[in-house]
Amino acid sequence: MRNVLTICSKEIKSYFVSPIAYLLLGLFGLISGYFFYSATAFFVMSGLRQQMQGSQQPMSINEYVIAPLLGNSSVVGLFLIPLISMRLFAEEMKSGTIELLLTSPVRDWEIVLGKWAGAMAMYLCVLGVSALNIATLFIWGSPDWRPVLTGLLGLALQGGCLLAIGTFISTTTRNQIIAGGATFAVSLLLWVLSWVTSYNEASWAQVIAYLAIPTHYEPFAKGVLDTKDLVYYLSVIFFGLFMTKRSLESLRWRS
């Protein structure tokens, strides 16, 4: 476990001593800030209009601001995650530092877990920006906090899945751009798989839709914590990390 922490903290430092962390935080802050401002402004305007029309129905800030904001964050995450994961192993293989890791008394799974956890920490920092936006809503309003928490948890798990896949892809090439591009392609594919059910109701279509990542996010966004979805996310993470470990082992036999 000590080795996992060593590698993880080194990864986090690497993000923050390079421009990557600031670029990601800046970009995400800008985009999610814009979404937050638009959603809140729209909410305020609609609220005023409803009051003028004398409507008695209260408007839910969770429904109008928080849910769309989290939904947008998950889509932006789709673009940012490959940028986080692409360097994990590709960079080490290119610079030769992988020899240091693989010849140190550290087990392969410790390396894999440490790397993934480091990337995950970086991603959580990015999500933190989104959480900060939402936190301001609690100052002036009283949104329901449960869907906020489950939504953030859903985003974290979703990110964990894509990062695990990205970590695996990063072990297959020395080229960071290829790793990033391939991770983006695979992530996007996992995203749009859910569209299948919109034109086909057959059971195979259901299975494919089940594999899609957003399918499992919807309950989280609504504040529902379903074991089925938790199991899905955790097993994708496990599978991704397992494949990474295998790929790392095969690196010894391949190179």
The residues that touch other proteins, with contacts defined as CB under 8 A, are 2-3, 6-7, 10, 13-14, 17-18, 95-107, 252-253, 255
Q: Which is nearer to other proteins, 17 or 52 (CB)?
A: 17
Taking the complex as a whole, how short is the minimal distance between the CB of residue 72 and other proteins, in angstroms?
A: 32
Q: Which residue, 228 or 254, is less far from other proteins as judged by CB? A: 254
Of 206 and 250, the one with the shorter C-beta distance to other proteins is 250
Q: Compute, in degrees rounded to 10, the torsion defined by CA atoms 244, 92, 213, 65.
A: 150
54: left (phi over 0), alpha (psi -120 to 50) or beta: left
d(CA 192, CA 202): 17
Q: Count of CB atoms within 10 A of residue 239's CB? A: 14
CB nearer to other proteins: pick between 8 and 39 = 8
We find the least distance from the C-beta atom of residue 23 to other proteins, in angstroms, to be 14
Round to whole Å and give the CA distance between 76 and 66. 15
Q: Which is nearer to other proteins, 102 or 230 (CB)?
A: 102
Cβ at position 18, least distance to other proteins in Å: 5
Considering the complex, what minimum distance in angstroms separates the CB of residue 9 from other proteins?
Answer: 9
Instruction: Tell which phi-psi region holds residue 96, choosing left (phi > 0), alpha (psi between -120 and 50) or beta.
Output: left
Element (H, E) at 207: helix 203-211
**Smallest gap from residue 118 Cβ to other proteins (A):** 12
